[in-house]
Structures are given as structure tokens and as C-alpha cells.
Amino acid sequence: MSRILDRVNDPRDLKALSPKELRKLAAEIREVIVETVARNGGHLAPNLGVVELTLALHYVFDSPKDRLVWDVGHQCYTHKLITGRKERFHTLRQYGGIAGFPKRAESPHDIVETGHSSTSISYGLGLAVGLRLLQKEGRTIAIIGDGSMTAGLAFEGLNNAGHLREDLIVILNDNEMSISPNVGALSSFLSRRMTGRLARRLKKDIEHLAERLPRGEQLLQLLRKSEGLLKSALTPGMLFEALGFEYIGPVDGHNLEGLIKLFQNLREIRGPLLVHVLTKKGKGYPPAEADPETFHGIGPFDPTSGRPLKEEGPPSYTAVFSRTMLRLAEIEPRLVAITAAMPTGTGLKAFGERFPERFFDVGICEQHAVTFAAGLALEGLIPVCAIYSTFLQRAFDQLIHDVALPNLHVIFALDRGGIVGEDGPTHQGQFDLTYLRLIPNFTVMAPADENELQHMLYTALELPGPVALRYPRGSGVGIPLEVEFRKIPYGKAEVLREGRDLALLAIGNMVHPALAAAEILEKEGLSVTVVNARFVKPLDAELICDLASQTGRVLTVEENTLLGGFGSAVAECLADHRVSARLKRLGLPDRFIEHGAPVLLREKYGLVPASIAEAARSLLS
Ligand SMILES: Cc1ncc(C[n+]2csc(CCOP(=O)(O)OP(=O)(O)O)c2C)c(N)n1
Ligand SMILES: CC(=O)[C@@H](O)[C@H](O)COP(=O)(O)O
Ligand SMILES: [Mg+2]
């Protein structure tokens, strides 16, 4: 039987479909999404939750003339399927295939590249003003989740849009979930249950007050009459209306015909509008509905059972970080932990369960997380801020101004440093060594393996000022974890193997590939010194200069942009100490790294033993 999806090559094709056909299309789309994500991995639950919402938006609005801006963009699969990409959808997130996030190069329907949250309202407002000033036709619609709405940036956008009174429609996709259950006062405010309770409590308080006032009976009667008004004033609308938005909702985000009618009506309304849509994360696929956190972003799984196809292997760096935090918390009562809405991804969930008083999920608020940590440090606590490398970019000024300038002892655990893979350019942790290295007072470390990670975290507890340690996504190297914690000597690199011909200086997860490269070269009669640099800042200048003088040839390797990273630090060190040596730097080029399996990307960018050996040969020739 032919699918309705086969007849949809462009959003305009939706208009020819009956309500029944649209509902069937939604079911077909869910099937394709489940099947594809089960094979390739991806963001399943967020996408299953917005199938009807996406169809209704594309049915009513005229994309790309009307600008649909998806916040984060992790929920854009239905959008991709109906905007001419269904034939290539099976390549989702694979190297050379369709990206998991909106991508301008893929389609004119993808208005911006996204991956980081909470940008849609600001982007949308800019687009709306641009359309008006340049007298172009079109409406702007920003679709933002309740989790993403917790960020300051979203409120900066709302505040400005309410002031400008611009034609901007904000769709708040409220599923009461971030990746984990959504947190914070805003989340409670949005929640319908709280609204009812709050309304009842407020009514009781006012009645109590009225009883004690002169002419209180009259006031009470008035109050009883205006009960409906009071209730509506206490819906989430109150907040958005105060910010200058017309509030509509909450409405059922899975009632396709209802959504279509609503959007048709409000298409004609001008000014800033906020439509509060209630959806269910994982809708239509029972395992994802039951456990939306696991199915938020997932690797390949068995679609029948919903069970992940787990690969056996060493524990991940995240798991080792998680375990070490639990152990350190037992010996250091001042240790506290902060996550910006990523308790599971960063491995801090276990810490939160074991030490709820010492754990803080601040929402998708990296900037706040960093300054909040600074406040904790000012009072003498030792905060560990665990934030993915890519998301810490958000808090660059907070790192400099709020933490480093007052030289506060905050520890930054940067997970997902280097290549992350299938999430692509928005998520690669390719800049951290560079953006941290340039900040005064910072110590910047990267462990060679999971065992060194635990020792570095232990060491970080006693180092002065801000300390960052960055480690990669995925499995460790398989090095057994020593039971006793050990201090890493401050600013000291470690010589792992000695040789005459060349000094191979590696940082972080490039240390083991460097050792493997040295093995290859040894078989060819070339003798290489391999150094685990451990510190990007302070650099072990003495050792580096000695080795450069002895061998005359230095090869650096890092999984970071070559601009201003570890290799640059070595080049500066040699220049500053007037040591002349032939220097070659391996690392990521000055471009955004595309999506694809990490093993393919490392191969492509020359960060595997064979390429490191090849670079060493060319330096020696
Ligand atoms: C700046 C930033 N921090 C963290 C993340 C990781 N992240 C991606 S989606 C997400 C949850 C988003 O929740 P919500 O907006 O409600 O969307 P839902 O998945 O519930 O549809 C988080 C924390 C991110 N993408 N960007
Ligand atoms: C959309 C988003 O930003 C997150 O869901 C991210 O994809 C998680 O990445 P990990 O799978 O590496 O935790
Ligand atoms: Mg949500």
C-alpha cells in the first residue's frame, strides 16, 4: 500500500490532504523516525512529541517565506521529512548524510543552523524586524521547548520582542521535560497542576484578608464573582502578558485539526503572540513515552523492545568522572556539583541522588551556572561545574570576569572535549583548549586516559584558582582504575617513552594514539620520545625546551583547533625561550567539523596513529 508520505515532497502538498490523511501521515512519520533512529541513533523522544505540531505549522504557514525557527533543532525530523529530504532521511547523522539538526546548506526551509538552545526567540525577532524593514512578506515563528525557555537568552528575546511589539509568534512546546525532568521556578509556574494549587491558596489568603477588613463581606462577594478572572490571571499567561505578549493556551499539541484551526486564526493577528502547546515527549512509541529521558538522545536500539544495542567496552570517561565525584564528596565536605540541565549526560545524576543538598541542576543556564559557582566559591565551597565543552562556550565572559579575575577556586569538568561525532559542528568540543588557555589564572589539564582523569580531579581539589579538565565523549582507553588517588605534579608533563629522533608531545586523548604511532615508527628504526603533556596551562616549558634542543624536531598532537591550542602553546614556548627546532602541529583545522562517526572524523583529520606516524616521518625526512 502506498504511503501518504510518498506524496509529500514539499510542505504545500500537505494542503491537499484530508484530516484523516494527515493523521495517517503523522503515524507514518512516527514509524520512519523510530526505524531510522533505531538504526542511526538520534533524538527520538523530542521528535515523536512534535509530529502533529510540525504538520500543523507547515499546513498553515508558508515555509520558507514564513520563517520557522526550531530552538535547539533536535526536534526537526518531521520538518526534514516533509521539506524534500525523505529520500535521504535514512542517512540521518551519518558522515555525508542528513544532519540531525537544521542545516542551511540542506534546505531553504532550514532558516538557521542550531544545536545550542534558547536562540529561537532572538533569531526570530531579528528575522521579523528584517522582514518588516526590508518590506518582505512573511511571518516568523519560533518553536521553543519548556527546557530551552529556562535560559536567560530566551527571556532577553521575549523582553525585547514585547517592547518592540513586533509580529512574532512564539510556540512554547511544553512537555514538562528538559532532557531530564525540567527544573526551576518557571517550570513549576508553567505546570498546570501548580496553577490550580496556587489559585486556591491565593483565593484563601484573600478571603482571610477580606474577613478582617472593614466592608469585608462586600469584598468577599466581589471576589466570589471574579473567581474565573482570578484563575485566568494565574495561568502562565500572566507571565508572558506582563512581557508584552498575547498569550494563547494551553492547547493540546497532538490534536492536529485543533492546531490547524488555531494557527489559521492567529495567522491574522499581529504583534507578539505566545502559544502554549502541551505535548508528550516520545508520543506514539511506548518505550519512549515511558522513559523520555533515555530516549531523548539515544544510540542504536532494538525498535521492538526499545533496548539499546550496547557495545561492551571500558567505562566511559563520564562514568569515571561520576564515580570519582562520589568518592571525592566523601572525603571533601566542601565539594558541591553543578549541572546546566545535563545530570545524566555529565554523570552527575548519581551525585544528586547521594548528596541532594550538594547538587544543583540550574536549568539550561550555563552562564548562570558559572557565576553561581563563583558565588559558592567565594563562601568557601569547592564547586565542580560539569558542562559539556561546547556548551561552556556560552559562559566565556563568566569564566573570565566572574571566576578568573577574582581568581576563584572553581573546577570545570568539560565533558565531550574534542570530536563528539554524530551531533556535528554545533556540538564538537573543538575550541576549549584555546578559549581556556588564554584566560589568566586558569589551570588547564587534559587526562590521557580514564585513570588519569580520576587523579586529575583529585588533584584539582587542592590547586589554587580556576581549574579546567577536559576529556572526550565515550569509552575510556581501558586502563584499570587505581584504587588510591594520586596527586599529579603541578605543571609537569610525563615522559612515557624515550627516543633520539623526535619529541612527540601529545595532550589528552591523543596520548595513546601517539604511543601507538611511536610503535609503528620504532619498527621502521625511528626512535621517538613520547610525552603526555597533561597541562596545556601551565606548560612544562623546561621539559619541552630540553627535548626540542636534544632532538631538534617536535611534533604536537591534540584534538582541538590548531588555532591557539596546545601546539600553539608549544610554538610560543619555543619562541619565547629562543629554542629553534622543526615543529609540526597536528590538530583540527580552522573550520567547523562536520557530523559523522568519531572514528571516521579522526581518520579524516589525521588524528590516528598512522597519520601521526606519517607526520613524524615527514618531519624527519
Ligand atoms: C546551550 C545548551 N545547553 C545544553 C544543551 C543540551 N540540551 C539539548 S536539548 C536539551 C533539553 C531541551 O529541552 P526542551 O527545550 O524542553 O526540549 P524537549 O527536548 O523537551 O523537546 C538540552 C539541555 C543545548 N543543546 N544547548
Ligand atoms: C540536543 C542536545 O544538545 C543534546 O541532546 C546532545 O545531543 C546530547 O549529547 P550526548 O549524547 O553526547 O549526551
Ligand atoms: Mg521540553
- The ipTM is 0.99
pLDDT at 230: 55
Q: Which three-class secondary structure string do you get for 20-76?
A: HHHHHHHHHHHHHHHHHHHHHCECHHHHHCCHHHHHHHHHHCCCCCCEEEECCCCCC
For ligand 1, is residue 46 a contact (CB within 6 Å)? yes
Average pLDDT on 589-593 reads 98
pLDDT at 39 over 60: yes
pLDDT at 86 over 90: yes
CA distances from 265 to 19, 268, 270 (A): 17, 6, 11
Q: Which three-class secondary structure string do you get for 548-593?
A: HHHHCEEEEEEEEECCCCHHHHHHHHHHHCCCCCEEEEEEECCCCC
pLDDT at 195: 46
For ligand 2, is residue 116 a contact (CB within 6 Å)? no
Burial of 190: CB neighbours in 10 Å, binned 0-12, 13-18, 19+: buried
Average pLDDT on 200-229 reads 57
Which one-letter amino acid corresponds to residue 604? K
CA-nearest of 253, 251, 285, 254 to 23 is 254
Higher per-residue pLDDT: 208 or 8: 8
Burial of 2: CB neighbours in 10 Å, binned 0-12, 13-18, 19+: exposed
Which residue is closest in CA terms to ligand 1's atom 22?
179
Average pLDDT on 270-280 reads 96
Q: 468 pairs with which residues across the strands?
A: 412, 444
User: What span, in angstroms and rounded, lies between the C-alpha atoms of 284 and 289?
Assistant: 7
CA-nearest of 333, 339, 349, 343 to 382 is 333
Give the number of the ligand closest to the Cα of residue 595: 2
pLDDT at 193: 41
Q: Annotated binding site for Mg(2+): which residue ranges?
A: 146, 175
Chain segment 170-188, per-residue pLDDT in tens:
999 999 999 998 888 887 7
What contacts 24+ positions apart, CB below 8 Å, involve 22-27? 22/55, 22/59, 22/256, 23/256, 25/55, 26/51, 26/52, 26/55, 26/256, 27/284
322, 350 contact by CB (below 8 A):
yes
Q: 557 pairs with which residues across the strands?
A: 506, 586
In a 13 Å sphere around the CA of 126, the CA atoms on its Cβ side amount to: 8
Does an H or E element contain 359, and which? strand 359-361
pLDDT at 273 over 90: yes
pLDDT at 233 over 80: no
Give the active site residue among 166, 366, 450, 559: 366
User: What span, in angstroms and rounded, lies between the C-alpha atoms of 542 and 193?
Assistant: 63
CA-nearest of 472, 518, 481, 477 to 496 is 518
Tell which atom from ligand 2 comes closest to the C-alpha of 473: 12
For ligand 2, is residue 72 a contact (CB within 6 Å)? yes
User: What span, in angstroms and rounded, lies between the C-alpha atoms of 260 and 50?
Assistant: 14
Cell numbers at 390, concatenated: 561546547
Average pLDDT on 327-332 reads 98
Edge-to-edge strand ranges of the sheet holding 335-339: 359-361, 335-339, 382-388, 411-415, 467-470, 443-445, 535-537
222: confidence class by pLDDT, cuts 50, 70, 90: low
Chain segment 393-440, per-residue pLDDT in tens:
999 999 999 999 999 999 999 999 999 999 999 999 999 999 999 999
Q: Which three-class secondary structure string do you get for 119-163?
A: CHHHHHHHHHHHHHHCCCCCCEEEEEECCHHHCHHHHHHHHHHHH
Which residue is closest in CA terms to ligand 2's atom 11?
297
595, 91 contact by CB (below 8 A):
no
User: What span, in angstroms and rounded, lies between the C-alpha atoms of 227 and 516?
Assistant: 74
Q: Global pTM? A: 0.94
Average pLDDT on 203-209 reads 57
Average pLDDT on 61-90 reads 98
Q: How far from each other are the two terminal CA atoms of the chain, in whole angstroms? A: 65
pLDDT at 209 over 90: no
pLDDT at 310: 78
255, 248 contact by CB (below 8 A):
no
Angle at 591 between CA 587 and CA 592, to 5 degrees: 100
Chain segment 475-499, per-residue pLDDT in tens:
999 999 999 999 999 999 999 999 9
Which residue is closest in CA terms to ligand 2's atom 4?
297
Helix axes 256-266, 51-60, angle to 10 degrees: 40
399, 466 contact by CB (below 8 A):
yes
User: What span, in angstroms and rounded, lies between the C-alpha atoms of 360 and 53?
Assistant: 33
Higher per-residue pLDDT: 203 or 370: 370
CA distances from 418 to 90, 156, 455, 472, 588 (A): 26, 31, 20, 6, 9
pLDDT at 147 over 90: yes
Q: Domains in the chain, ordered, with CATH?
A: 5-205+238-290 (3.40.50.970), 317-470 (3.40.50.970), 494-620 (3.40.50.920)
Cα–ligand 1 centroid distance for 364 (angstroms): 7
pLDDT at 218: 63
Q: Which three-class secondary structure string do you get for 230-249?
A: HHHHCCCHHHHHHCCCEEEE
In a 13 Å sphere around the CA of 333, the CA atoms on its Cβ side amount to: 0
Chain segment 341-390, per-residue pLDDT in tens:
999 999 999 999 999 999 999 999 999 999 999 999 999 999 999 999 99
Q: Annotated binding site for thiamine diphosphate: which residue ranges?
A: 74, 115-117, 147-148, 175, 285, 366
For ligand 1, is residue 260 a contact (CB within 6 Å)? no
Q: Which range is least confidently modeled, 111-125, 301-315, 442-456?
A: 301-315
For ligand 2, is residue 418 a contact (CB within 6 Å)? no
pLDDT at 509: 98
Residues lying with their CB under 5 A of ligand 3, a single-atom ion: 145-147, 175, 177
pLDDT at 541: 98
369, 338 contact by CB (below 8 A):
yes
pLDDT at 569: 98
Higher per-residue pLDDT: 48 or 268: 48
Burial of 186: CB neighbours in 10 Å, binned 0-12, 13-18, 19+: middle
204: confidence class by pLDDT, cuts 50, 70, 90: low
Cα–ligand 1 centroid distance for 340 (angstroms): 10
How many other CB atoms are there within 10 angstroms of residue 246's CB atom? 16
pLDDT at 202 over 80: no
Q: 172 pairs with which residues across the strands?
A: 144, 276
pLDDT at 210 over 60: no
CA distances from 92 to 3, 35, 100, 422 (A): 20, 11, 6, 9
Q: Which range is least confidently modeled, 14-23, 232-241, 297-306, 316-325?
A: 232-241
Average pLDDT on 211-224 reads 59
pLDDT at 5 over 80: yes
Q: Read off φ and ψ for residue 506, nearest 5 degrees.
A: -125, 155
CA distances from 598 to 420, 486, 561 (A): 6, 31, 16
194: confidence class by pLDDT, cuts 50, 70, 90: very low
For ligand 1, is residue 283 a contact (CB within 6 Å)? no
136, 129 contact by CB (below 8 A):
no
Cα–ligand 2 centroid distance for 526 (angstroms): 42
What is the percent of the chain where pLDDT is above 90?
Answer: 89
105, 135 contact by CB (below 8 A):
no
Cα–ligand 2 centroid distance for 89 (angstroms): 20
Identify the residue whose cell numbers are 605543571. Answer: 491
pLDDT at 159: 96
User: What span, in angstroms and rounded, lies between the C-alpha atoms of 517 and 613?
Assistant: 5
Which one-letter amino acid corresponds to residue 433? L
What does the mean pLDDT of the chain come to? 94
CA distances from 515 to 19, 214, 473, 527, 587 (A): 62, 85, 20, 12, 16
